[in-house]
Chains A and B, each alone.
Chain A
Amino acid sequence: MSDAPAIEVRGLSKRYGDYEAVRGIDITVARGEVFGLLGPNGAGKTTTVEILEGYRARTAGSVAVLGQDPARRGLELRRRIGIVLQSGGIYPHITPREALEYWAGLYPRPRQVGEVLELAGLSEQADTRTRRLSGGQLRRLDFAIALVGDPELIFLDEPTTGFDPEARRAAWDTIRSLRDLGKTIVLTTHYLEEAQELADRVAIVKDGRILADGPPRELGAGAPHYRIAYRTPEGEAVQLDTDDPTTVLHELTGEALARGGRLDELSVARPTLEEVYLELTADE
């Protein structure tokens, strides 16, 4: 497999009339990476992903997906990608098994239908018409259809929206198992926890721009890296943000010991992705 990135996007923008949905986005996704686009609704995540999937034409910028321009909608490229749309429908009178057999036939080297049904947790519903399936089961069928062609690159647009916590965990396990198979995954979500759990790298998107980009744990380079909290003997809660917790802690604990007192409820924490996210996406 080549070392070229799975996805390379430079200066991507998309305009609908007067509205600029995407305003100059750069993205590089390495092969085998799970890349998360995190942002509030209307941030431009879906527009961006749908340009990568070949659904939409861009207004400006360059886009390469597996080395090809998705706007050309080449069959060869579409055979190598799998797509879970935010709301993709299915024929109401088809069964999951038939749907997977049909979709498998579109790809050169599909996975076994029975195995994919198992992976998606649909073995019991394999011969039930889709109109009788629950929302969660339909969503698992979306996954199954995207996987049955054994694609190299998988797009997941808000894959767990509307899931209960248990179903979400199950979906995360599926996504992790895909990563373990070496698949490249691009995931959009407005759930921080999901980005944090799954993504190797996260880009925070708002108003069509990327505000920050990096591994979830390192995100927020602009923000203080550590937050120290404690309670004074008078009962007042104190929070200190610092890049250098060792020194600050040394001073604080030194003072406290010199006084013969204590630092109640002392804690040192790194800001979570959530705090960075809320800070970045807050409306001024």
Chain B
Amino acid sequence: MSETLRLGWRQYRLERRMFWRNPSAAFFNFLLPLLFLFAGGAILSGSQHDLNKLLPAIAGMSVMSTTFTALAYNIVYLRERGVLKRIRGAPLPTGSYFGGVAANAVTNTALQIVLVVFAGRLFFGIGWPPEPLSLIVWVLVGVVAFAALGVAFAHAIPNFESTAAYVNAVFLPVLFLSFFVFDASNPPAFLKTIAQALPLLPLIEGLSGAMVTGSPIGKHLDGLAVLALWAAIGIFLGVRGFSWERAESR
């Protein structure tokens, strides 16, 4: 066990180093949500009500981009380049590898959430999160669900060239639909139903409660259940279909 942890820690450190050395990954995973936050903040600066909506929406987007998007990209890239296959042949426990990869994603998510919280406090007139423990729980559940879904989604992407198309075909519609339903005072019922069944809106609503309105987790149990269900689906598909090699060599 301690060996698995030690090797997982080394994998984590390698992942961190590789992450910061890759400017485009650092940009898309890190700066993009912050750019959205500040651009949105500038546009909506007249309305505290809108800013209160913007902050949890961006926090939810951050969770999704640092886990779902980043892992789908990374896994497809490493798989197609043959890096996963090489790792598979090394004396590295599978748990150490995925532990390191997951911890790397969690680090990015945590850094992002901290930045978003500070931005809310310093620039957008929103105080410190009224429900900090709830915030941690929501971020953790969101990370598990979106990370697992990202790993599972990587299986559907046939080659690295098409990764951006596949990821954005999911990321952008889910993002815009969830933002729209979250913000609209009276959204069309069918859109609301769809958005509530997807994982992002429940996460944003939970984050809103934890970061802005101070409504505890107990008031969002249905949303938590939706996220947990997505997490279970993601883990099931992620583990079952996982491939260490590109398709033509299988």
Contact = CB atoms under 8 A, between A and B. Distances in A.
A105 B22 CA distance: 23
Interface residues of A, number: 25
Contacts of B10: 102, 105
Interface in B134-167: none
Given A75-B91, A93-B21, A93-B22, A106 B86 contact: no
Nearest to A87: B82
A53 B90 CA distance: 10
Interface string A65-80: 0000000000100110
Given A54-B89, A78-B91, A83-B89, A88 B82 contact: yes
B18 A106 contact: no
A105 B7 CA distance: 8
Given A89-B82, A91-B83, A93-B22, A102 B89 contact: no
B91 A149 contact: yes
Contacts of A87: 82, 249
Given A94-B18, A105-B10, A106-B7, A89 B89 contact: no
Contacts of A145: 86
B14 A55 contact: no
B85 A102 contact: no
B216 interface: no
A90 interface: yes
Contacts, number: 61
B22 A106 contact: no
A79 B85 CA distance: 16
Which one of B14, B22, B86, B92 has the greatest number of beta carbons of chain A within 10 Å?
B86
Interface in A154-205: none
B86 A88 contact: yes
Contacts of B21: 93, 129
B130 interface: no
Nearest to B4: A75
B82 A55 contact: no
B18 A93 contact: yes
B90 A103 contact: yes
B143 to A, nearest CB: 23
A55 B18 contact: no
B94 to A, nearest CB: 9
A145 B83 CA distance: 12
B86 A102 contact: no
A85 B89 contact: yes
A106 B90 contact: yes
Interface string A96-114: 0010001101110000000
Contact of A89 (B14, B22, B83, B91): B83
Interface of B: 7, 10, 14, 17-18, 21-22, 78, 81-83, 85-86, 88-93, 245, 249
Given A54-B89, A145-B86, A149-B91, 14 more contacts: A78-B89, A78-B90, A78-B91, A83-B89, A85-B89, A87-B82, A88-B89, A89-B86, A91-B78, A93-B21, A102-B14, A103-B90, A106-B91, A129-B21
Closest 7 CB pairs of A and B: A89-B81, A89-B82, A93-B21, A78-B91, A88-B86, A79-B91, A89-B83
18 contacts: A55-B89, A55-B245, A79-B91, A83-B86, A83-B89, A85-B82, A87-B82, A88-B83, A88-B86, A89-B81, A89-B85, A90-B81, A92-B81, A93-B17, A93-B18, A94-B17, A102-B14, A106-B92
